[in-house]
Each structure stands twice: as structure tokens, then as C-alpha cells.
Chains A and B, each alone.
Chain A
Amino acid sequence: MENINNSIAVLVRKLNPITKLLIVFCLGIGCLIYPLPFVGYGVLCLLVILGILIGQGKQVLKLIVGFGIPVTLMLLFIQGLYSPNNKTMIADFGFAQMGLEGTMYALKISSTLLIFLAAFYLMLQTTKNSETVAALTQSGLNMKLGYLILASLNVVPQMQRKVKVIQEAQESRGVETSGSFIQRTKAFLPLIGPVVLSSLTDAQERGMTLETRGFGISGDKPTSYIKVETTGLDIVLRMIAICFLISSLLPRIL
């Protein structure tokens, strides 16, 4: 998490993670429900602006360009040219015709995807995972599920470090990890084998640690060191997010 300390970044960072989750959800679903794709691109622009304001502009744009453009092109190709719903043709490429319905559908899907992507990215950049999990457990998520999310996030990098050491150990035993295709294929088992076996024993010991620290004892309601507050701003933002979702439903109902 980069430490850009302008007032907006601080404000966003201070928001309750649940508020942020709700906003991500409402924006994404709202744009999906709304019949036309343009609202989605509008929201996307707002997200980019927010990204720039909190010092993440470059990364958000990179995400949109690197992932968004290829996906949009691919979807335009698949849906625009070959969607069974195509009735109004807007262009002719010779080998296929481009349909308005499919094109609109492709644009909507891609905008929704990008909104989820950008909003989720911004949320992750401004929230500690432990805070999100603490907020979720405080509003009723099972302790064990909370543990799973955090432990997975922390254990995996540790295991990746272990793979490096194992690679060294096996190279020292004559395993060639950078030779021909056959040599590289042969190296897979000596590398993954120790990872799996030693991780299993590690897991057993970690279980011992959890047990002796009273993890999951019944009776007491668990408490958390991390404090998650719900401020007035949180409530206002939550209301706005829900209003957005409802208003996107209106054109469908009316």
C-alpha cells in the first residue's frame, strides 16, 4: 500500500471496508442492470479520477489499458459479430456482419468488468486485508472463514519463498531447472514434492499453534485488536450506493 497522504486518500483509507465493498458491489451490479453501456463508462471515468486523486491514477489506467482493451476487443469480436441476438446490422466486414445488439452487449459486459476491476483494485489499495476481515467478522462472518482468507494471503508468499530454497537444494542434487523442455518437465516433481510434503508438516504444526492459542474455542465471543468504525460518512456513502443500484433498476421496471 503506497503512502500518499493527501486528504482524500486518508479519507478513503479510513472508510469502513464494508462501505467500500458495498460501493464496489452496487456500482458493478448497477451498471450491469442499466440497459445502456454508457453509464458504465461514465462511472469508470469517475473511478479513474478518484484513482488519480488518491495517487493511484497510473496503476488504474494501466489496468484498464492492459486488461480492458484486449477484453473489449475480444468481446466485440465474439458478441458483435456472432451474437445470436444480432438483428440490426451496423457494419459489414465481409466475413461477418456487426450487429448493434451484440455490440451493445459486449460494451456493457466490458464496462461492468472494468468497473469491478478498477473499483476492487482501488479498494484493495486503500484497505488492509486484516481490516476487511475484521469488519466482516464483526458483522457476523464466521471466524474460521476470516482466518482462511488472511492465512491464505500470508502463507502463500511464505511458500513461494520456500520454493526458491527447494529449487536451490534440488539443483545441488543435480536437478537441471533451466535446460531443455524434457529436463524442465522432469524438474517439476522434485520441486513440487518437497513443497507439498514439508508444507503438510508445517500445517500440522500451525494447527498446534492455533489450538494452543485458543482458536475456535466455544463460549466466548472473539474480539479483535483491529478497530473498525462506522462513521456518518460511511452511512451516507452506503445510502448513495444503494440509491444508485435502485435507480439503475428504474428504467427496467418502467
Chain B
Amino acid sequence: MKIEIKNLKHKYPSGGEALRGINTTFEGSNPVAIIGQNGAGKTTFAKHLNGLLRPTEGQILIDGESISDHTTAYWSKYIGYVFQNPDNQLFLETVRKEFEFGPKQQGLSRHEINDRIEFISDLVGLKHRLSTHPFDLNATEKKFCTIGSILMMDPKIIILDEPTCGQDVEGNQRLAKIINYLKNNDRLCITITHDMKFVVRNFDQIIVMSKGEILKSGNKYNVFSDVKTLLESHVAPPPITRVGQALRLKDISFSKEEFIDHFTRRIHQS
């Protein structure tokens, strides 16, 4: 699936400009991270991608078809959107029922739904929790319940809004696993996040937004070596990268392994 965004602009009814001309294309299955300060327009942008918000100007084409031709409910078959706060969508008494909800809307067969539950509940780590009430889950599990309920609809593109907020170590590892699964199964994952450690570990493509515009787009090496963009968008590189930059290592490092490698070279070259 391919999403083309052409000169997308969005104005609030109050008159403020939230998006000021965005041009980009999403294609393939390399996961994309959208970063930037609060108020940069990340969520407003993402909400256009499944038709929740309609462009004031410009257009969005999904495989050549204009997004405005159908409702969000129609697009939900192809594009899944996981909201930041799980409480905004959970309302059934067991995790299993939450998982069944989406596919039932699509009219999938009982058999197929059960197969998917089997697989998805394992992927999101809730296999042993299927008969639990979603509100009895802890913060991590609750988040994965909402992610699972969207994955159950098997969308080609999935948008995650701040999935890392309030997550513990295990939650972050599981998220990484899910993002990797999506990548390997030809599904595109677009994620909004503030957690730079998480970004550099899991995303091939990064979009930096600021004041309703795309400031920079590229891989982590391009983005985090561009000091001007980082300053302008108030994005701080992950801790390891900062240490590397402070020590003036020649190559930029994003993981402990990379750092150790680069630092070893630094002390041996001297």
C-alpha cells in the first residue's frame, strides 16, 4: 500500500494553522518514526492518514484513491490507528472480546477470528490474559490490549500514537518485537514517539516535524548528525549518542555496541 501526501494543509476552526504544506510518501514496510515537540502537529498529521481529520487543502491518496472518498470506518480495514490513551477505546469485559470486536465489524468468520486471536495474543503477550477485564490489566498490558485489538483487523498500515509512554523495560522490548514482526510481514508501521532511544533502535526512517512542517526526513544517521534540525525542533539525541558527540567520536553511535566499537577504535587509533 502506498500513501501519497500532497501539499497537506490543516487549519483549526479557530483559525490556527496546524499543518502547513506537507509532502511525503509512505510506501513499503520500513517502519517510520515521527518525532518533534508537542504542538509540532504530529498527531494532527497522523489523524489525516486514516481520515479522522480531513485536509483543509491538498490531498491524500491511498493507492491512488482519495482518502476523502470514504469514512474512517471504511479505511480501518487498511489503516489501523492506536490511540495514546487505551481508556478511550476499551469497553468490553474481557481482552478476548476486545480482540474480537474489530474483526466482527469486518464480518470475519468465527474460525478465522479464533486463529488470529491465537496468534495476536501471543505476539502482544496477552495469551494468558484473554479472559481478564481490560481495566484489570496493568498499564503495559492495557496498551498491548489496544495494539492487539487493532492488529486483529490486520491492517496494511498501522499508526501508533505514543506507544512508549509509561512503558517499562519489558513493554519496550515487546513493542520492538511487534514493530519487527510488522516489518517482516510487509506491514508499514508509523509511530509517533518522544523516546529517542526507542526511535534509534527500531526505525529505519525518521520524520522530524516542527510547527506543522516536515523539517527533515531520513535515516537516524542523517537526522541525528544534523545539529541545526535538532536545535530547531528541540529534539535531543539519545543518551549514548550525546556521550559520543561530547567525546567527539568520528562516527555517530546509537547503541551500546556501536559506542563500544567506536570508542575502542578511538583509543586505539591514537
Q: In the complex, A touching B, CB below 8 Å?
A: yes
A residues near B, CB below 8 A? 162, 165-166, 168-179, 189-190, 193-194, 196-198, 201
B residues near A, CB below 8 A? 47, 50, 52, 71-73, 76-77, 80-81, 83, 85, 87-92, 101-102, 105-106, 135, 149-150, 153
Determine whether the beta carbon of A173 is less than 8 Å from that of B88.
no
| Residue in A162, A168, A189 whose CB lies within 8 Å of B52 | A168
* Measured CA separation A179–B150 after assembly (Å): 22
Determine whether the beta carbon of B72 is less than 8 Å from that of A171.
yes
Given known contacts A168-B52, A168-B83, A193-B91, what 14 new A-B pairs fall within 8 Å (CB)? A165-B83, A165-B88, A166-B88, A169-B89, A171-B71, A172-B52, A173-B76, A173-B105, A174-B105, A179-B73, A190-B101, A193-B92, A194-B87, A194-B88
* Measured CA separation A5–B77 after assembly (Å): 56
| Residue in B80, B85, B90, B101 whose CB lies within 8 Å of A172 | B80
Among A166, A171, A172, A190, the most chain B Cβ lie within 10 Å of the Cβ of: A172
* Measured CA separation A168–B48 after assembly (Å): 12
* Measured CA separation A194–B105 after assembly (Å): 17
Minimum CB–CB distance from A244 to chain B (whole Å) comes to 45
Determine whether the beta carbon of B101 is less than 8 Å from that of A162.
no
Determine whether the beta carbon of B101 is less than 8 Å from that of A173.
yes
Chain B residues lying within 8 Å of A176, measured Cβ to Cβ, are 71, 73
Chain B residues lying within 8 Å of A168, measured Cβ to Cβ, are 47, 52, 72, 83
* Measured CA separation A198–B88 after assembly (Å): 7
Chain A residues lying within 8 Å of B149, measured Cβ to Cβ, are 173
Determine whether the beta carbon of A174 is less than 8 Å from that of B47.
no
Chain B residues lying within 8 Å of A174, measured Cβ to Cβ, are 73, 76-77, 102, 105-106, 153
| Residue in B76, B92, B150 whose CB lies within 8 Å of A171 | B76
With CB as the reference atom, state the residue of chain A lying closest to B83: A169
* Measured CA separation A165–B50 after assembly (Å): 14
* Measured CA separation A165–B88 after assembly (Å): 7
Leading 7 A-B pairs by shortest Cβ distance: A193-B91, A198-B87, A174-B105, A172-B81, A169-B89, A171-B72, A174-B76
